[in-house]
A and B are shown apart, each in its own frame.
Chain A
C-alpha cells in the first residue's frame, strides 16, 4: 500500500516570539493588538528594546512621546533603545 498526500490543509495559530504574553503598557495580549488598532499582526507589530523588553510598537511610541526628559523603558527604567535585530 502506498499513501500519497496530495494536498494538506492544516490549521495553525500564529504568535509572537516574545518573552511575555501581554504588553506591559496596555496589558493586552501581544497576539491581539493595542487598544488603538483593529487588526493584529502586521498592522500592530511588536518592537524590542535593547533591554530585551518588548511592547506593541504603538504603545511604546506613545509612551516615549509622553516622556519629556529621558526616554526610558517603562519596565526597567533603562534608557530605551530600539533593538534592530
Chain B
C-alpha cells in the first residue's frame, strides 16, 4: 500500500459515491458497488468516517428543512370542501414519502459505512440510519407545523370515516362502487405511507382521537334521542366493535407497524369506556324524563345502571337530577299529587339504579324537604292510598306489608345471601344502617317525609271521618279493607281509633233497626243517626243550630229509643251535621232534594210563616245572620225564597218567568265543607293551653321578648306529653293575641295591656 494518497481523486470518489456532498449538483452517473467499497477503504485510511457522516447528515438536514418540509406544508392551506382536503392530504403524504424514498440508497450506504467503520456510534440515538432519517423528517415536520394543518387531516379522516359508515348502504345499493374503491385505495395507501414514515401517531393521532370521540358522541346522541323504551347499550357496543375498531385497525395495523396492534387494543378499551361515559351522560341529562315515564323507561334505566358501574358519574348524576327536580318539580306550579307521582316514580327508578338505596336517599332529599313544606301532602298521600281507581300508591299498599327491620339484628335473609352482599358505596353515612336504606318501601318513605306515623294516621282519621260523615252510607266494607291494610303497615295501636269509628258506623245501623220497631216512633218520618264515640273521632266542627220543633220532637223520640236500648247512656245531637232527603210540594212543581239540616230547617220555618226578617230567623235558629244569609242563597237559587227588602225574606210558591231568570243568576252556594275542625284550629286550641302560663309570666315579669317566653315555656309548660311548640309557631300565636288586643307588642317585647292589669 502506498502511503501517498491522491486527495483530489479520493474526494472525487467520495463525491461520486455520496452525491449529496457535491455542491455543483451536476448529474453524475451512479457509483458502482466496486467504487463504493473502494471509497470505504479510502475513508478508513484517512480516518474520515465521522466527518463524512456528519457532513452527509448536515446536508440532508438542510435539504429537508429548506425545501421538502416547506413544500409539504404548503399543501395544508384552507380548502373549500372536505373532498379537496382529502386529496390534498394524500398528495402531501405522497410527496413526503417520495422525498423519503429518495434518500433510500444514500442511507443504505451510510448504514454500511456506519456498520463497518463506526460500530460504536449511532445517529441521534438510532443504530439504523433509516430510523434516524425518519426521526429527522418527523422532527423537522413538527418544527414547522402550520396552524391550519389539523383541518386538512380532519377532512381526510372525516371523508374516510363517512365512507366507512356508509359502506353498508353503498354495498346494498351497489352504488358508486367505483368512487368508493378509489377513496379506499387512496386512504389505505396514505395510511401505509404514514406508517412507513412513522408519522401516523405524531401527525394524525391527536386529530384522529378527537374525531373518533366526536363521532361516538354524535352517534350516541343520534341513537338514543328521546326514546327510553329499549336498551341501546349492546347496539352501541356492537357498533363500536364492527365499525370504529376495524377502521382504526386499517389505519394502524399495516405491515409496517404490527406493534401497534397492542396500542389499538388499548385504545379500544379507552373508546369503550368513552362510549359508556357518553351514553351515561346522555341518559343522565334525560333522567328526569326517564323517571317520569318510569315503568316504560326501564330499559334505559338498566342501561344507565350498567354504565354507572363502569364509569365514575354518580356525583354528576346526583347533581344533575337534583337540579332538574328543582327546576321542573319543586315549584309552586306543580300540584302535590303530581309531585307525589313523580316522587314515587323516582323512588322506584332509583331502586333500579342503585339497590343500596343511597342514591335514592340523596336524590330525594330535596323532594322530602319540599313536600314537608306543603300543607296538603299528607292529605294527598292518604287520599291516593285509599282511592278507588288504581294508582301507584294504592297498589303499593295492597302489595304487602312493610318489613320493619330491626336495626341491629341480622335478618335470616342476609345470612343466606351473604355471597351476594355488596358493601355500601363510599359516600354512605356509616351511622345509618344499610338495612334500613335497602328495605325502605315507598309508603314508609312517604310517611317518613313527616317524620312520624302519628301525623299520618291522624290525617287518615280525619279523612275517614270526613268520608263517613259525608256519605252516610253504612257500607263500610271497603273502608274496613283499607283499614286492615293500613294496620299491617302501621300496627294495630295506631289505628285503633279508626277501628272504633268504623264500629260506630256498624253499631249505628243496628241501633236504627232497633229503634224503627218502636211504634210511636214509626208514626213520624224516617230518622236515623250516626252515633259516634266522641273520644275516638276527630274534633267535630262546632256550629250551633236550633232545628225545627218537629224535628226536635223526632230526635227526642230517637234519643229515648236509644236510652231504652243502652242503659245509662244518652245522645247529644250534632244538629248541623247530617243529610236530609226532602220533598217539597209546590203548586206548580215538586222538588226532591238531598240537603243539609240547616237548609231543611230554613225551609220548614218558611213553611210555617211566609215572611222572615233575617234577624228574627237567626234568633230562632241560633245561626249567625251572615252564615244564615249564605245558606238562604241555596233556596234563593231554587227560586223559593226572595229577599224582597233588605234583610227581609219571603217565600215564593209560584215562579213567574221573570223571577226564575233572576234566580238562576244567583250563584249556588253549596260548598261541601268538611265536618271536621281544621288542623289549624286544633293546633290553636292546643296552644291555648299555654296561654295561662304566658299571662302568668307577663303578670310577674311585666314584659318579655319572644325568646324568653319560649324558653320559660320550655322549662315549665312543655313537660310531659304536651306537644312541642316551635319559636315560629309561638310567634304566630302571640301575634294573633296581639291582634285580638290581649297582648301589646312594642320594642321586641310582649306585654299585657294596661287595662287588663287594672281590672
Contacts and interface: CB of A to CB of B under 8 A. Distances in A.
Nearest to A46: B568
Given A2-B584, A14-B562, A9 B579 contact: yes
Contacts of B531: 12-14
Interface stretch (A33-41, A58-66, A68-76): A33-41
B720 to A, nearest CB: 14
B461 to A, nearest CB: 15
Given A3-B584, A29-B535, A31-B534, A12 B569 contact: no
Looking at chain A's contact residues, the main secondary structure is strand
Interface residues of B, number: 55
B59 to A, nearest CB: 110
Contact of B583 (A6, A10, A13, A17): A6
B500 interface: yes
B79 interface: no
Interface in B531-576: 531-537, 540, 551, 554-555, 559, 562, 566, 568-575
B580 A5 contact: yes
Contacts of A12: 529-532, 559, 571-574
B497 to A, nearest CB: 10
Contacts of B603: 3
Contacts of B496: 38
Nearest to A48: B568
Contact of A1 (B528, B540, B570, B607): B607
Contact of A9 (B500, B528, B537): B528
Contacts of A29: 535
A67 interface: no
Contact of B604 (A3, A31, A39): A3
A5 B600 contact: yes
Interface in B81-129: none
A82 interface: no
A13 B507 CA distance: 12
B580 A13 contact: no
Nearest to A2: B585
Contact of A3 (B527, B530, B574, B607): B607
B507 to A, nearest CB: 8
A37 to B, nearest CB: 10
B197 interface: no
Interface string B572-608: 1111011111111110000000000100100110110
B526 interface: yes
Interface residues of A, number: 28
B472 interface: yes
A38 B473 CA distance: 24
A10 B530 contact: yes
B688 to A, nearest CB: 19
Interface in A1-53: 1-18, 29, 31-32, 38-42, 46, 48
A46 to B, nearest CB: 7
B469 to A, nearest CB: 6
Contacts of B219: none
Nearest to A18: B568
B651 interface: yes
Contacts of A39: 499-500, 503
Interface string B461-501: 00000000100100000000000000000000000100110
B681 interface: no
Given A3-B604, A29-B535, A31-B533, A10 B568 contact: no
A1 to B, nearest CB: 5
B716 interface: no
A38 B502 CA distance: 13
Nearest to B471: A9
Kindly name the residue among A15, A18, A42 whose own CB sees the greatest number of chain B CB atoms within 10 A: A15
Contact of B534 (A5, A13, A18, A48): A13
A18 B569 CA distance: 9
A8 to B, nearest CB: 5
A14 B570 contact: yes
Given A9-B530, A13-B531, A3 B562 contact: no
B582 A5 contact: yes
B525 interface: yes
Contacts of A7: 525-528, 580-581
B575 A10 contact: yes
A11 B675 CA distance: 11
Contacts of A10: 527-530, 555, 573-575, 577-578, 597
Kindly name the residue among B525, B535, B559, B675 whose own CB sees the greatest number of chain A CB atoms within 10 A: B535
A40 B580 contact: no
Contact of A8 (B503, B528, B533): B528
A10 B653 CA distance: 28
A31 B530 contact: no
Kindly name the residue among B580, B604, B653 whose own CB sees the greatest number of chain A CB atoms within 10 A: B580
Contact of B535 (A6, A9, A40): A40
Interface string B258-298: 00000000000000000000000000000000000000000
Contacts of B527: 7-10
A15 B568 CA distance: 9
A41 B607 contact: no
Kindly name the residue among A5, A16, A31, A38 whose own CB sees the greatest number of chain B CB atoms within 10 A: A5
Contacts of B580: 5, 7-9
A15 B569 contact: yes
Nearest to A28: B535
Nearest to B547: A10
Contact of B581 (A5, A16, A42, A48): A5
Given A1-B653, A2-B607, A13 B584 contact: no
A11 B574 contact: yes
Contacts of A15: 534, 569-572
B690 to A, nearest CB: 22
B169 to A, nearest CB: 77
A42 B526 CA distance: 26
A18 B472 CA distance: 30
A14 B555 CA distance: 13
B525 A1 contact: no
A8 B536 contact: no
Kindly name the residue among A13, A38, A39, A42 whose own CB sees the greatest number of chain B CB atoms within 10 A: A13
B591 to A, nearest CB: 10
B535 A14 contact: no
A16 B566 CA distance: 10
Contacts of B653: 1
Nearest to A43: B503
A13 B533 contact: yes
A8 B524 CA distance: 11
Contact of B472 (A9, A16, A48): A9
Contacts of B507: 41
B521 to A, nearest CB: 12
Q: Which 5 A-B pairs have the closest CB atoms?
A: A11-B577, A13-B534, A32-B535, A10-B578, A2-B585
9 contacts: A3-B583, A4-B584, A5-B526, A10-B597, A11-B529, A12-B531, A13-B533, A14-B572, A31-B534
Given A2-B585, A7-B528, A17-B570, 15 more contacts: A3-B604, A4-B582, A5-B525, A7-B526, A8-B527, A8-B580, A8-B581, A9-B529, A9-B579, A10-B530, A12-B574, A14-B532, A15-B534, A31-B533, A48-B568
Interface of A: 1-18, 29, 31-32, 38-42, 46, 48
